[in-house]
Structures are given as structure tokens and as C-alpha cells.
Amino acid sequence: MEADLLEISDGKLYGTNDMVKVGCHDCQGCSSCCQGMGDSIWLDPYDIFQLTRNLNKTFQELLAKEVELHVEDGLVLPNIKMQGEEHSSCSFLDKNGRCSIHSFRPGLCRLFPLGRNYEEDKLTYFLLVHECPAKNKTKMKVNKWLGVPRIKDYEDFLVAWHNLTKGLRSYLMENAQDEAVTKALNLKFLGIFYMTPFQGEDFYLEFKVRLEKWQNL
Ligand code: SF4
Ligand code: SF4
């Protein structure tokens, strides 16, 4: 494990079937990880698939209110928008301090206080030991904590997505001076993976088709 991970975690890496101390007793009135998060809650295509389907909105309609775009190493990516005084609270946090989209909340929200560790084509998880203030946390299986159906397909998608965006960010950083290339790539990227509505029920199948389309470009 890398030194910076050792500082923020308990020094262990977990698989989906491992038990980890994350159970926070239903948050009990805390909403600290839904506030002041800036642009850090990135949304991948699976998150947008869930949000557009369950809220019956297009990606473009989400951009009008709850979601915004930011730039990361030259790559344009969507994130959950903070709003209210000093942009302090997630757009989906209701007035009782609860998540209004709990059953289809984004992957990074499901994960917290776990983080993802990518090594080659393997995905494991680490526990952020200083982030969640809940006391007397209970042990839960990572799989159960995430609560995502078809976990193997989900993890395969995450690894493919991580590799794609990592490679693209490196390329854009190396070619940062070429604004035309940066703009053209970002438009294609957003168009293929975000703007085009997902039609069917099988996200993973559609993602695979889009990935092949991207790779053929
Ligand atoms: S910080 Fe922990 S207890 Fe608070 S809302 Fe987040 S997960 Fe729940
Ligand atoms: S989507 Fe829900 S869980 Fe995620 S930050 Fe917003 S209110 Fe919190």
C-alpha cells in the first residue's frame, strides 16, 4: 500500500466479501458527508443512468439544477452540485438532512467512508479512518455496504471507466496546449458517455457498446 494511503486508512485493503467497520447506525441525524463537498462527488455514466432513469430527467435537465461540470486534468466531468449558502449542501439533501435519492444515490455516496484502490485491473477498497464521525461503528460486508446489484459487472465497469478516464487525462495533460484537440475530445467524450440517453435496462451492455464506439474513434 502506498504511503499516502497508509496515513488516511487503517492500512488494509478490502474485497467485496470482506467485513469492514463502516456501519454508522443509519447516520442518526448526521449529514456531514453531504455538505461542503465542493466538486468532489464525481458522477460516472452508471450514476447518470440511475439519476436520469429514476428522476425522469435528461442529463441536460440535471445540468440545469442538481449537477454541474468541472475540469479535471483537462477532462470535463460531471459532479453533484452543492447549493444554498456558500454552496454548502448537496442539491439532493432534503430539509430534514436526509438524502432524497437514497435508493439510487451515486456510487461515491454509497462508498463513503470507503475509497477505491485500483491496481492494474483489480479493484479493492480502503477505509478512510478520519472522515466519518459516527461512534461505535459496526462491521458490514463491503458488498452489502455498497448495495449495488450485479456487483461483479459493476466493478468491471468501474475498472474499465477508471482506465479510460486515466488514459484520457494523461493524454489531455500531455497535449494541454492544443485547445482544439481538448475541446473536440471532451465533446465526443461527453456526447458518447453522458449526453446520449441510455435506452435499455441493461446499463452494462450499453456501456460496452459505447466503449467500443469510443475505442474505434
Ligand atoms: S459522515 Fe458518516 S454518519 Fe455522517 S452522514 Fe456521512 S456516512 Fe453518515
Ligand atoms: S446524493 Fe445523497 S448521499 Fe450523496 S451527497 Fe447528496 S444527499 Fe448526500
Over its length of 217 residues, how does the chain's per-residue pLDDT go in tens digits?
Answer: 777 888 889 989 999 999 999 999 999 889 999 999 999 999 999 999 999 999 999 999 999 999 999 999 999 999 999 998 766 899 999 999 999 999 999 999 999 999 999 998 999 999 999 899 999 999 999 999 999 999 999 999 999 999 999 999 999 999 988 999 999 999 999 999 999 999 888 999 999 999 999 999 8
> What is residue 5's predicted lDDT score, i.e. its pLDDT?
83
Q: How far is CA 104 from the centre of its chain?
A: 12
Distance from residue 30's CA to the centre of ligand 1 (Å): 6
Ligand 2 pocket, residue 108 CB under 6 Å: no
> What is residue 200's predicted lDDT score, i.e. its pLDDT?
86
Ligand 1 pocket, residue 128 CB under 6 Å: no
> What is residue 30's predicted lDDT score, i.e. its pLDDT?
92
Ligand 1 pocket, residue 33 CB under 6 Å: yes
Q: How many CA atoms lie within 13 A of 189 on its CB side?
A: 21
> What is residue 87's predicted lDDT score, i.e. its pLDDT?
67
Ligand 2 pocket, residue 34 CB under 6 Å: yes
Distance from residue 171's CA to the centre of ligand 2 (Å): 32
Task: Tell me how crowded residue 2 is: count the other CB atoms within 10 A of its CB.
Answer: 8
Average pLDDT score over the chain: 94
Sign of CA dihedral 9, 12, 156, 50: negative
Q: Which residue puts its alpha carbon closest to atom 4 of ligand 1?
A: 30
Ligand 2 pocket, residue 105 CB under 6 Å: yes
